[in-house]
Structure 1
Amino acid sequence: MNTLIVYATKHGCSETCAKMLSKDLTGNIELFNLKDAKIPVLTKYDRVIIGGSIHMGKIQKEVQFFCIQNMEMLMNKKIGLFVCGMLFEKAHEELNNSFPNELLTQAIAKEFFGGQYRFDKMNYFDRLIVKKVAKVNNDFSQIKDENIKQFADLMNSDC
């Protein structure tokens, strides 16, 4: 089975989670950062996993654009959807607001993978906001390994 994991990341958390996920999936796995280059041809993939991080309550525009532009093709694939972020109390809401309803209905796996603060990847403004709002001054990770593993198990199943 060929799987494509497409994601967008601002500070690297979605990429970290996508790589962790790829290790738990069966078959041939390809990772693709939507901010890097031209989107690969989807016809060669059986499964497509789409994810990104939440900033200011929204997923990156590259993820939204990918979903809209490829909706017809995606509806014929085994779909998985994930988001990364630090607001655990809003995780379900953010996931549901990040993707079109058609994909949410089609998805075999939908999950919140947690998040992290990586100060080395942030610009001055982002660091300032995190320090003021989250009251965090150092790198900090709350990536949920168990959520990634459960997601992979669902995607690997024959449903």
Structure 2
Amino acid sequence: MNTLIAYGTKYGCAQKCAMELAKELDGNVELVNLKEKGTVNLSGYDRVIIGGSVYIGRIQKEVSEFISANLNVLLKKEVGLFICGMQEGDMMEKEIADNFPAELISKAKSVKNFGGEFIFKKMNFMEKAIVKKVSKISSDRSDIHHDNIKKLAMDLN
């Protein structure tokens, strides 16, 4: 089975999660950072896993554009979806619904929240200020849900 993991990342959390996921999957796995490679020929893949990190409620533009450009093909493939972010519960469910088309969510074999992290040295001044004010966090924090990465892999293997 040939699998593509197509992701968008701003500070590297989604990439870190995608790499961890790739190690858990059976078959051949290719990782593609959509920011570096905008167009991907999906014909050689049996399944496609799409994910990215969410900032201020939005996933990376590259992820949205990839889905829009390939939606008809994606709906014919085995699909998994993931999102990286620090929201939990209903807020995370809303972010998933807001960032992936409903027909893709319903087609997906698995949809998971991989958690997220705040690494302050990677943020600019304004981003640090927003995180401190909104999240009440003032130092680095990693809350990656490794169990959800494994669950998505199990769902698709």
TM-score range, shorter chain: over 0.9
Tell me how far apart the structure 1 counterparts of residues 150 and 93 of structure 2 sit (CA, whole Å): 18
Tell me how far apart the structure 2 counterparts of residues 19 and 120 of structure 1 sit (CA, whole Å): 22
1:123 corresponds to? 124
Name the % identity: 48
Further displaced range: 3-12 or 88-97: 88-97
Tell me how far apart the structure 2 counterparts of residues 32 and 118 of structure 1 sit (CA, whole Å): 23
Q: CA deviation at 1:37?
A: 2.1
Contact 2:4 2:32 in 1 (8 A): yes
1:135 corresponds to? 136
3-state DSSP of counterpart to 2:126: helix
1:148 aligns with 2:149: yes
Tell me how far apart the structure 2 counterparts of residues 11 and 144 of structure 1 sit (CA, whole Å): 17
1:27 corresponds to? 27
Tell me how far apart the structure 2 counterparts of residues 107 and 135 of structure 1 sit (CA, whole Å): 34
Q: CA deviation at 1:24?
A: 0.5
The code of the aligned residue for 2:88 comes to: F
Tell me how far apart the structure 2 counterparts of residues 102 and 134 of structure 1 sit (CA, whole Å): 32
Contact 1:86 1:116 in 2 (8 A): yes
- Superposition misfits of 4+ residues, deviation over 6 angstroms: none
Further displaced range: 124-133 or 111-120: 124-133
Contact 1:109 1:155 in 2 (8 A): yes
Normalising by structure 1, report the TM-score. Answer: 0.93
Contact 1:113 1:145 in 2 (8 A): yes
The code of the aligned residue for 1:31 comes to: L
1:88 corresponds to? 88
3-state DSSP of counterpart to 2:86: coil
Normalising by structure 2, report the TM-score. Answer: 0.94
Tell me how far apart the structure 2 counterparts of residues 141 and 46 of structure 1 sit (CA, whole Å): 32
Q: CA deviation at 1:12?
A: 1.2
Contact 1:12 1:121 in 2 (8 A): no
Q: Deviations over 1:6-40 (max 9, x none)?
A: 01111111111101111100111111111112422
The code of the aligned residue for 1:12 comes to: G
Q: CA deviation at 1:91?
A: 1.2
Q: What is the number of residues matched between the two proteins?
A: 156
3-state DSSP of counterpart to 2:115: coil
Contact 2:38 2:66 in 1 (8 A): no
Further displaced range: 90-99 or 76-85: 90-99
Contact 1:7 1:15 in 2 (8 A): yes
